[in-house]
Structure 1
């Protein structure tokens, strides 16, 4: 029986909850519909709040909130973003506890999310003032050209349940820095930290610049995608959600920014530091209970060292502290976000075993309250099976073997995803050559899931297109205009 740390202490009190309303044009508004979604604490299964389900009319009202934000200078926008970062820092403990209570995040994960939110706001504030473009000049005789970078307009942003505030910041920080306004839809499952954030920063942001409408993706998300006055939809979510948004956006030819699923391969070669690889996967494969699109979940290890590596990995995974985030700061693995997602992850493990995989450690749901699944390692996974190909999105790492470098690269690329990957080797030439051959937007060498706001994040193939973070994000959320002046003297 897996030992689960339980707690009878609540992470947040009722008076710390945000207003359970939509935020439109600078104010919280009573919902038009009485329909709500129940938000639960996944560590206990108990209800935390009832959040309104928005309507098409409420999305339209948010889109119509059009302040003169685009006319502000980069410095003015940067000053506002830095003020928002200050407010998040001042309320870091509260926001972290809300993330833990609503998402089941251990304190280390929730604290990291809040720190990341602060940093992406500060990076975007600086980046707003540091665009570089082609220099003005006469590229045609007697005609001077210069390049303007302009905001797109109103952007619809759809944020996932696994990082409700951090992924929100990955969207709204560069969107606002580039001079756009936005309407943001948080996940129905984890909307509380975003609603609290907007409550805290309401007076620091001009009315109408950022609006939040809660509700179903099929209603609120679809309206953002097909609204004629929205210039772009930015979504982090599942492949199915991305396909639906891209299809709807295609009717009006609006731009789409998609950060979708992943099935990150980790190529562990015979010359790798196996102990370091196992320790790295302990973090990269199970961070946020594996509910992470870039998680290192699909190990491809050379057959000559597979047995030794699996022993090291099992030792690492067996040492996790599992439990309710309220039960102590040393809890490392929390619950999955919902009963529905819990059922999907348990079913995926069962399917893998039916397809021939073996459970090296874990592999079971945990009895009792909450949506806990044991940290799991599956070995003997065959190419082409469900576990080798599809995103499980839980605390599950699969292990396959390969015999040659060419096979490893081919197998790494055989899934429909292309978000991230890693290569583990002490061969200098291989560490440069193999990453070039892998179809993934980020390839780490001798590490995995190491992120920085200064560098881009995004995928290829079924993992979507567009880039979060870095100057590339601000470029995605803006447009270039060429102005040419004929100055010939006659």
Structure 2
């Protein structure tokens, strides 16, 4: 361990608040919790303490089949409801989450190790997602009915696709469920959702609390491993579309399984977001931006500001500012006052991040701050900044998905754009500059679905979220999400 790597961080520990009543044990199918066909169970762990909170069923293909059957049975009646009726249901779901906010925040923090501020933001964003989708469900905009061929009147119908299979990740359990459930239901579909087996509790709690508000079979939830439950959802012949938020590898498996039945696929996958800092940028603001956006949720965020490209003329100054910012980050358990970041999600992921840091050392890069596990219970890793990273080093392209930011330099605008685009990912990026012309031209050259200028990781429910290249296709949030979970039918009437 070098001098720079000496441990600077400790974990602020607080007495864990009592976990609210856990959701029922079982699969949520046809409007109620039922026993799984499997007797196998999966431990659900609090990663900040390593304590087992509960167990959930390791679901089977038969569980998925039963859930899909329930969704098919409910499909036509739900599709026949009016947008106003579906909107009212989504608004009621939002109200239920709001009324039970404290329970959701506490449960989410306990299941993920998130600090209170992150859990609170997650729940607020989930509420906003349902409320936005409630409005968007009533405001489709399509091509107007008219005669586009002589004596023939064309009408465009927007229809639900049918039954949607949804696979959500562990980093934002309830929020990512909301990003899918709200537009899927708003567009008139029924669905079967598989939450991460590591973090199913808030999704199951939602099902428990809204069971009387959503018609039976419209929303179904099956817990279990991806290789079983996720694969069956993806290949199921009666699932019309499958949507996943997850890693590139998981998305590839879903797309391959879906190909057999030629169903539509919606992929929101990984990222390696470049932060391009030009010489004229406000360096203090950029450093603070990376502190916030690079380490939000412990860096377990597909849009995290994890790869800084800074102009060589200001690299030393910027790096000094960044290291100072990161040295001041507080690490803590849920409930610890002022904690900014919490634990990694699991022992396995904790070990993957530490292995990536070992590779950084082997590659000879400089760890300017952090780089170590933090002693004590829980899967905590120090906020880390890696400097003097050469072009095309593995860390510039490998998604670590932890509290790790790398810094590399560039000489010209053209080089900055080329280097930013060389990653396989295309989810998000940011540009930091005071030059108005550059702020307009550079984002257009970056091959990413979202590009921020002088900020990073600011999300608006009204705006679409999704990527290019290896980051997938399809859009979450905004009215584009409802488009993605709809199909277009053209009916032409001969008036001649």
**Which of 185, 195, 207 is matched with 2:194 structurally?**
185
Offset of 1:94 from its aligned partner? 0.6
2:308 aligned with 1:299? yes
- Which residue in the other structure is 1:107 paired with? 116
User: Relative to structure 2, which stretch is displaced further, 174-183 or 381-390?
Assistant: 381-390
- Which residue in the other structure is 1:75 paired with? 84
1:346 touches 1:365 (CA, 8 Å); kept in 2?
yes
Q: Name the CA distance, whole Å, in 1 between partners of 2:421 and 2:328.
A: 32
**Which of 376, 390, 393 is matched with 2:398 structurally?**
390
Q: Name the CA distance, whole Å, in 2 between partners of 1:245 and 1:78.
A: 30
**Which of 41, 44, 59 is matched with 2:46 structurally?**
41
Offset of 1:11 from its aligned partner? 2.8
Q: Name the CA distance, whole Å, in 2 between partners of 1:321 and 1:451.
A: 24
Structure 2 regions of 5+ residues with no counterpart? 1-6
**Which of 173, 176, 185 is matched with 1:176 structurally?**
185
2:137 aligned with 1:128? yes
- Which residue in the other structure is 1:441 paired with? 449
- Which residue in the other structure is 1:56 paired with? 61
1:272 touches 1:424 (CA, 8 Å); kept in 2?
yes
Offset of 1:325 from its aligned partner? 1.1
Mapping 1:467-486, distance limit 5 Å = 467-486=475-494
2:336 aligned with 1:336? no
Offset of 1:6 from its aligned partner? 1.7
- Which residue in the other structure is 1:451 paired with? 459
2:37 aligned with 1:29? no
2:157 touches 2:491 (CA, 8 Å); kept in 1?
yes
2:11 aligned with 1:4? yes
2:26 touches 2:57 (CA, 8 Å); kept in 1?
yes
Q: Name the CA distance, whole Å, in 1 between partners of 2:446 and 2:322.
A: 24
User: Relative to structure 2, which stretch is displaced further, 378-387 or 338-347?
Assistant: 378-387
Q: Name the CA distance, whole Å, in 2 between partners of 1:360 and 1:482.
A: 60
Q: Name the CA distance, whole Å, in 1 between partners of 2:333 and 2:366.
A: 28
2:425 touches 2:471 (CA, 8 Å); kept in 1?
yes
Q: Name the CA distance, whole Å, in 1 between partners of 2:108 and 2:495.
A: 58
- The TM-score normalised by the length of structure 2 is 0.97
- CA deviation map 1:333-361 (0-9, x unaligned): 10000000000111111111211210111
Offset of 1:3 from its aligned partner? 1.9
Mapping 1:232-243, distance limit 5 Å = 232-243=241-252
- Which residue in the other structure is 1:148 paired with? 157
Q: Name the CA distance, whole Å, in 1 between partners of 2:96 and 2:36.
A: 27
Q: Name the CA distance, whole Å, in 2 between partners of 1:72 and 1:133.
A: 19
Q: Name the CA distance, whole Å, in 2 between partners of 1:264 and 1:123.
A: 27
2:204 aligned with 1:195? yes
Offset of 1:319 from its aligned partner? 1.0
Q: Name the CA distance, whole Å, in 2 between partners of 1:372 and 1:262.
A: 22
1:11 touches 1:98 (CA, 8 Å); kept in 2?
no
Mapping 1:86-485, distance limit 5 Å = 86-328=95-337, 330-485=338-493
2:115 touches 2:336 (CA, 8 Å); kept in 1?
no
2:242 touches 2:265 (CA, 8 Å); kept in 1?
yes
Aligned length: 485
2:16 touches 2:334 (CA, 8 Å); kept in 1?
no
1:356 touches 1:380 (CA, 8 Å); kept in 2?
no
Structure 1 regions of 5+ residues with no counterpart? none
Q: Name the CA distance, whole Å, in 1 between partners of 2:233 and 2:252.
A: 14
1:356 touches 1:381 (CA, 8 Å); kept in 2?
no
Provide the secondary structure at the position in 2 that maps to 1:326: coil
Q: Name the CA distance, whole Å, in 2 between partners of 1:192 and 1:459.
A: 28
Offset of 1:327 from its aligned partner? 2.6
